[in-house]
């Protein structure tokens, strides 16, 4: 069994980073401001930064924090890839709970104390903190405070319905690390089971959803997320073949939840990302090709009615027709969301 270090802090904020010094600086400034405003954080929260062998001065910047008692940083000897570095964040954390925050995201002022107070008062397996998405630099949002936020217990199905495709957004999840290792067991999947998928965090998030008993969700956004589609065709591979493989593995005994997670990606995510990438609205797609996208999505989700009527024309029809299909897809997505409530 993993050494759980039960005498450690209540919460670890773990930050994986690679060559994003300006983003990391903004994030750590925000975290530091919250520590200064709420002294309780100094006793019960640690900050852990995993530097994936950055070459932009990150190591020298982190050296400035070396004397702070509740701050730790680790520099990888070489770039291990994002999944391995994220997994190290989870495994190196000493807190009972771990909140992994992407180095280009920002927790709203007051959000760290809010999370700490809730997990200190009520044990949960998984806490979901919705994000406010911005498609710009986040500097102007660094002083934004969380407003009228309440965290409450929810059922497993309600948690699934609130997160949907955003289940893949790592910065929204606070995980009971101790309970994860209890549920995983000595011979079960380990935290790095899905390294190489680009969504390795689904190992512990899905393990907790499938096995956990106590869940919570905030009613308003508590973190600012930087929105941008990038990665070319690997994006379709990640959210089709990689994603569906993990969902089917983790929810083989929970078919209802597995189907919701599969359908939300097909119905709510892919129409928009296909439109944006094909017509250069967002992302790095200088030469969109329908065939590989249709193959990946079809092989992963099947070639049923929705695939034939929505996904296929979005990939192949002229712009006017594709725009009309996208509007139909948007209406159907809202209907589907209403029906699963």
What is the DSSP code string of 204-236? HHHHHHHH-S-EEEESS--EEEE----STHHHH
Q: Is 331 left (phi over 0), alpha (psi -120 to 50) or beta?
A: alpha
Rounded CA separation 194/189 (Å): 9
Instruction: Return all residues near 244 (Cβ < 8 A) that are at least 6 apart.
Output: 262, 265, 300, 301
What is the reported pLDDT for 187? 46
In terms of Cα–Cα distance, which of 17, 71, 25, 24 is closest to 46? 71
What is the reported pLDDT for 227? 82
Provide the β-strand partners of residue 316. Answer: none
Rounded CA separation 40/273 (Å): 42
What is the reported pLDDT for 7? 74
User: Contact 229/288 with Cβ under 8 angstroms?
Assistant: no
Radius of gyration of the chain (CA): 20
What is the reported pLDDT for 2? 56
For residue 145, the 8-state DSSP code is B
Q: Give the pTM.
A: 0.94
User: Contact 29/53 with Cβ under 8 angstroms?
Assistant: no
Per residue in 120-152, pLDDT tens? 999 999 999 999 999 888 999 999 999 889 999
What is the reported pLDDT for 147? 86
What is the reported pLDDT for 79? 96
Residue listed under structure tokens 């929705």 = 306
For residue 55, the 8-state DSSP code is S
Q: Which long-range contacts (CB under 8 A, 24 or more apart) does 277-284 make?
A: 277/229, 277/235, 278/314, 278/315, 278/322, 279/319, 279/322, 282/135, 282/228, 282/229, 283/228, 283/229, 283/230, 283/231, 283/232, 283/235, 284/230, 284/231, 284/232
In terms of Cα–Cα distance, which of 24, 27, 25, 75 is closest to 51? 75
Those residues of the chain that have pLDDT short of 50 are 1, 187-188, 285
User: Contact 86/201 with Cβ under 8 angstroms?
Assistant: yes
Q: Tokens in use for 216?
A: 């919570």
H or E element at residue 149 = none
Query: Can you list the domains of the chain with their CATH numbers?
Result: 11-226 (3.90.550.10), 233-339 (no CATH)
Rounded CA separation 121/118 (Å): 5
Rounded CA separation 158/340 (Å): 10
Per residue in 28-42, pLDDT tens? 999 999 999 999 999
């Amino acid at each position: 069994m993993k050494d759980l270090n039960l005498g450690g802090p209540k919460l670890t904020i773990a930050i994986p980073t690679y060559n994003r010094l300006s983003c990391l600086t903004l994030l750590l400034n925000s975290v530091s401001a919250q520590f200064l405003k709420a002294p309780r954080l100094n006793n019960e929260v640690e900050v852990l930064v995993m530097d994936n062998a950055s070459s932009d001065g990150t190591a020298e910047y982190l050296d400035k924090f070396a004397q702070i008692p509740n701050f730790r940083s680790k520099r990888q000897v070489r770039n291990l890839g994002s999944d391995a570095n994220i997994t190290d964040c989870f495994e190196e954390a000493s807190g009972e709970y771990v909140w992994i925050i992407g180095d280009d995201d920002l927790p709203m002022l007051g959000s760290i104390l809010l999370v700490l107070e809730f997990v200190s008062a009520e044990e949960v397996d998984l806490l979901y903190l919705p994000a406010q998405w911005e498609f710009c630099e986040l500097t102007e949002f660094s002083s934004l405070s969380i407003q009228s936020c309440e965290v409450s217990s929810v059922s497993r199905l309600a948690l699934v319905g609130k997160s949907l495709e955003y289940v893949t957004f790592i910065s929204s999840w606070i995980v009971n690390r101790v309970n994860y290792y209890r549920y995983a067991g000595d011979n079960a999947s380990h935290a790095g089971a899905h390294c190489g998928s680009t969504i390795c965090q689904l190992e512990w998030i899905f393990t907790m959803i499938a096995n956990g008993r106590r869940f919570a969700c905030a009613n308003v956004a508590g973190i600012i997320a930087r929105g941008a589609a990038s990665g070319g065709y690997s994006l379709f591979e990640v959210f089709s073949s990689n994603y569906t493989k993990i969902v089917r593995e983790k929810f083989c005994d929970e078919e209802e939840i597995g189907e919701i997670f599969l359908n939300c990606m097909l119905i709510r995510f892919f129409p928009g990302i296909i439109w944006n990438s094909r017509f250069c609205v967002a992302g790095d797609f200088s030469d969109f090709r329908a065939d590989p996208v249709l193959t990946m999505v079809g092989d992963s989700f099947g070639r049923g009615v929705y695939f034939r009527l929505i996904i296929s024309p979005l990939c192949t029809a002229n712009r006017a027709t594709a725009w009309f299909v996208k509007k139909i897809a948007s209406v159907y997505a809202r209907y589907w969301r209403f029906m699963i409530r």
